[in-house]
Structure 1
Amino acid sequence: MKISMQLKYDTDIVAAAGQVAELERAGLDLVWVPEAYGYDAPSFMGFLAARTERIEIGSGILSVFSRTPALLAMTAAGVDALSGGRCHLGLGASGPQVVEGLHGVPYTAPVARTRETIEVMRALWRRDEPVRHQGRTVTLPLPEGQGTGLGKPMRLLTPPVRPSVPVWVAALGPKNVRMVAETADGWLPLFFVPEWCDRVWGPALKEGGAARAPELGPLQISAGGLLAIGPDAERARELARGQLALFVGGMGAPGHNYYYDLVSRYGYAREAETIQRLFRSGDKAGAAAAVPAALLEATTICGTESYVRDRLDAYREAGVTHLQVVPVPREGESEAAVVARLKDLVG
């Protein structure tokens, strides 16, 4: 099992490059560069490529509504060339508030758009013939009546370093997870609980896996949570309350919140309703306090070394290939030191 980590959204990206170099030396295998509605991820990914040597660099995540499939393919191929074949392309559908509010693009057919984006990107990376695609959300080239009628099938001008860049998709809903299991190289679930995976996502993963092309290989999974190692580490778990309250209570409009739906499927529907109601009323502290202790423990990895080892076994058993962590250092300790300690436990 490899170790991955996502950088903070509001970080000083120049200073963070030095931190990533330190994390690389500590043994971090894959760093995810976030993109929400601040800095774009690919610019920083290229900067990291120049400042590191071994660590793999992923986008976590680029919205399929903010860029065309061709631009996503070109961007991934470019970062892959700059990094010597270390790029991972993390994609997601985002949500209607950001897609329609910031990008001005209708939020329609997100699962179909993600699927067709992957199909077009892989066709472009192959470069074996000019790309044509007739889909529900993507048509290449545009037919007469939707444009000038002068478009022609094209292929990428420059070959990528690898035949294909690994494509990861952030997904929580059953339909989206089924599509990911069928078509993507990897899956990026948030608030993943290994013991509850089969109950919540088992049918979707099995159905998608049954239709998966053999050449894709097994589905990779990057999942984990806040990490603290030591006899007093359980206190660090409380740091995750605010994030859970934010995502369950404030991410997306009511009725369009994937995290609210997930927590409800975990068996905490009543608590999710309370968290959302308090958060949206402005009582963020009350929303955080309403997060159940059992849910907090299930979605974090905080405890003694023996406890953390047991959690690592549970993630392995659930098929997690990349343990994604948010390190919480002890006093006087760095995040890189926490990663190094975790590396020893992973073995």
Structure 2
Amino acid sequence: MKISMQLRYDGDIVRAARDVTALERAGLDLIWVPEAYGFDAPSFMGAIAARTSRVEIGSGILSVYTRTPALLAMTAAGVDALSGGRAHLGLGASGPQVVEGMHGVPYRSPVARTRETIEVMRAFWRRGEPVAYDGSTVRLPLPAGASGATGLGTPMRLLTPPVRPEVPVWVAALGPRNVRMTAETADGWLPMFFVPEWCDRVWGEDLRAGGAARDPGRAPLMVSAGGVLALGADAARHRERARDRLALFIGGMGAPGHNFYYDLVCRYGFAREAAAIQSLFLRGERGAAAAAVPAALLEATTLCGPESYVKDRIAAYREAGVTHLEVAPVAGEWQTEADLVARVKELCG
């Protein structure tokens, strides 16, 4: 099992990008560079590529609505060239609040948009082939009259293809249709708040259906999942750090009726608690919303405790098919994040 980690962006992200070199020395395999509605991810991916030599670098995530499929293909190819073939492209649909509120793009057909984006990107990465595509959300070249188009467009190819035949594509997916599409089409899956013991009950049917339709020539689906990491006899207290984030996502990352994280927690069996968290959060009572996060959910989505406990949790993730244990290390008084990455890599064997 490999170790992955998201670049911290809740503080000095420039310093965090510089600190990746220490994490690389500690054995980190893959760094995810976030892009929500702050700095763009590709700029930091390029900076990290210039400072490192081994760690793989992924976008975690780029929205399929904020860039055209061609630009996503170009961006991934560029980072792959700069890094010597170490790029990963994490994609997601985001949500209507961000897509329509910040980018002014209609939030339509997110699963189809993601699938067609992947297909178009891979077509551009094939060396020497001009790309024509007629999908429900992507049409290349754009025909005359479509959205005011002139009809003068012609199929084109990438001038500078990637250094590899393809850049691995990961999809952040939680809903049944999106997970099924991911298992069929993507190279990797990014499920937030993943609980290995509940995976089969919540996603098993969709993962199996998607896997059955998967191209047999494509490698098995990779999975990056985990949570806050703290080691030691008193480390369980550090899982409290995850409480605010859970409340934020359950309560505020999406309007009522359009919140994928809320829906996931309900599917986990915490519908009453999710309703309370969302109600409190939307009333501005964020502290109360965080306090309402159930202890069982908090523990299930984190990796905090004595080494023997964390080792058992790692085994559960491995059994559930996780290929990349994604950690958010909380360093103790005499530890650094790099120390924790090195130790958990040893525990993974």
Q: TM-score per shorter chain, which class?
A: over 0.9
1:202-261 Cα deviation digits (max 9, x unpaired): 011011000000121100000000111111011111111111111001111000000000
SS across alignment from 2:10? coil
Equivalent residue in structure 1 for 2:282, among 269, 280, 283:
280
Rounded to whole Å, the distance in 1 between the matches of 2:122 and 2:115 is 11
Q: Which amino acid in structure 2 is aligned with residue 82 of structure 1? A: L
Task: Kindly indicate whether residue 288 of structure 2 is the aligned counterpart of residue 289 of structure 1.
Answer: no
Correspondence for 1:22: 22
Equivalence for 1:12: 12
- State the shift of 1:7 in Å: 1.1
CA contact 1:80–1:160 (8 Å) conserved in 2 = yes
Following superposition, the deviation at residue 343 of structure 1 comes to 1.1
Question: Residue 129 of structure 1: SS of its match in structure 2?
Answer: coil
User: How far did residue 159 of structure 1 move?
Assistant: 2.0
Give the TM-score of the pair, scaled to structure 1: 0.99
Report the Cα distance in structure 2 between the residues aligned to 1:321 and 1:50, rounded to whole angstroms: 26
**Residues 17 and 51, structure 1, Cα contact 8 Å, conserved in 2:** no
Please name the residue that 2:224 is paired with: 222
Which residue in the other structure is 2:242 paired with?
240
Give the C-alpha shift of residue 145 in structure 1. Answer: 1.2
1:324 and 2:333 are equivalent in the alignment: no
TM superposition shift of 1:127: 2.4
Distance 2:159 2:285 in 1: 53
Q: Which runs of 5+ in 1 are unaligned?
A: none
CA distance in 1, matches of 2:102, 2:285: 26
Unaligned runs of at least 5 residues, structure 2: none
Higher mean displacement: 6-15 or 131-140: 6-15
Question: In structure 2, what is the Cα distance between the partners aligned to 1:18 and 1:73?
Answer: 26
* Contact 1:65-1:93 at 8 Å conserved across structures: yes
Amino acid at match of 1:331: E
2:228 match: secondary structure: strand
Distance 1:231 1:343 in 2: 19
Cross-structure match for 2:335: 333
Please name the residue that 2:347 is paired with.
345
Give the SS at the match of 2:194.
coil
Conservation of the 8 A alpha-carbon contact between 2:7 and 2:17: no
Runs of 4 or more consecutive aligned structure 1 residues displaced over 4 Å after TM superposition: none
CA distance in structure 2 between the partners assigned to 1:186 and 1:225 by the alignment: 18
Name the residue aligned to 1:125: 125
Matches within 5 A, 1:135-284: 135-146=135-146, 147-284=149-286
The residue type equivalent to 2:333 in the other structure is E
- Give the superposition deviation at 1:10: 3.2
Deviation at 1:128, TM superposition (A): 4.0
Query: What TM-score do the two structures reach when normalised by structure 2?
Result: 0.98
Kindly provide the amino acid, as one letter, of the partner of residue 205 in structure 1: L
Q: Distance in 2 between matches of 1:223 and 1:174?
A: 18
The one-letter code matched in structure 2 to 1:129 is E
Q: Percent identity?
A: 76
Give me the CA root mean square deviation: 0.8
